[in-house]
Structure 1
């Protein structure tokens, strides 16, 4: 899940960025509305965490612009404006959720997980396909009741493939969801992650569609 953090408080943004990465999100940061608008238009993010007090445009004006252009990206407003009127205004403009500062980062993560589930078909943080179970909240992968210890990137690749079970994910799609702006990516990085995962997962769990990408078959 690619999150765009739109926040002009750099210290807060750095802390949030670290927390989001630790929870398995791919997070990028911009500090003004213009940069956020350009990113949203190019479909480079799946979710927006939006501060309202931006230097070049009020966050609500940006949200209104996004909705006027029929861009349905989920938006969680993060702001010091905490009156009921402000919350109603934000939700009426098309926000999916509203969290007032100061806030607990665990609550923010929980709210983002709820929005993430709305984007897919899962009704909980646990995805189970055959004998493989993945819990996106606790970062635990279970295979037939045996806990599998996965590095962050491998966990994220598996999570993407299981969330999109039955659909092919190209190398480019996986890279865009896995790596942040400016992060160095080796040309064979995805292939390496897949190779390592296959050695830990049941035979045939991840399938290669030659010249197209990778997929995990649906199944109970």
Structure 2
């Protein structure tokens, strides 16, 4: 996963970065809110580790800012603020989890894995959704247990859509982050989406007219009364 770490403490930040990288995550570490916003807009991280007390503002303000932007990533707050009201404020403000400092790095990594499973269906280096399973380490994709042959561009598009399932991704976002281009007048994206649909079959990729595309998680049937 691409993890954005927002922490101003040098020793703690370095320890978290090294521990996350040892787990195979790619980590971008910033120490200010302004830098965090720039990274989020430019690179769309998969997950945020957010300290609340930062040199240029409070982490709660970043949560409020995130709610106004497309595809808000999961957020794990890491803070020494142990008051119940503070924790509730963070969770009610959009954070997915709250970990009190000081903490063991093993617990932090465990929380990250749990958050990835809840948010992206991540299981042992794989993304899963319905009959799809994406093995990120080997760049392999299976559909209903059978291998699916995809081009590199198709793989990147599918991985991005599955990682952000239930979130509408704009054409511009997909062009820039999956295809490495921004060509609103071109039909390159449409060609790749059309090819993906042929290979996946019906029921996976939905067009949101005038905006972009989304893959939605299957709705679980209600338990019998």
Give yes or no for TM over 0.5.
yes
Aligned-pair distance for 1:59? 0.4
Are 2:60 and 2:93, in contact at CA under 8 Å, matched by a contact in 1?
A: yes
- CA gap of 1:42–1:127, structure 2 versus 1, over 3 A, is closer
RCO higher in structure (CA 8 A, sep ≥6): 1
CA drift of 1:71 comes to: 3.8
Which structure 2 residues correspond to residues 10-49 of structure 1 after superposition, within 5 A? Answer: 10-49=10-49
Secondary structure at the aligned position of 2:116 is classed as helix
The Cα shift of 1:90 comes to 0.2
SS of residue in 2 equivalent to 1:24: coil
The aligned residue for residue 8 of structure 1 is 8
Cα contact 1:117–1:125 (8 A) shared by 2: no
The answer on whether the counterparts of 2:127 and 2:136 sit within 8 Å (CA) in structure 1 is: no
RMSD: 3.5
**For the residues of structure 1 that align with 2:127 and 2:68, how far apart are their CA atoms?**
38
Q: Extract unaligned runs of 5+ from structure 1.
A: 130-154, 178-211
Corresponding position of 2:183: none
- The 1-side partners of 2:98 and 2:62 are apart by 15
Shift of 1:68: 2.4
TM-score (norm 2): 0.58
CA contact (8 A) 2:6 2:49 kept: yes
Gaps of 5+ in 2: 129-134, 161-191, 193-198, 201-225
| Displacement over 4 Å in runs of 4+ | 126-129, 160-173
Shift in Å, 1:48: 0.4
The match for 1:157 among 137, 161, 177 is: 137
Superposition TM-score, scaled by structure 1 size: 0.59
Say if 2:62 is the partner of 1:62: yes
- Give the secondary structure class of the aligned counterpart of 1:157: coil
Aligned residue pairs: how many?
153
Report how far residue 83 of structure 1 moved.
1.4
2:78 matched to 1:98?
A: no
**Structure 1 residue 42: Cα displacement:** 1.9
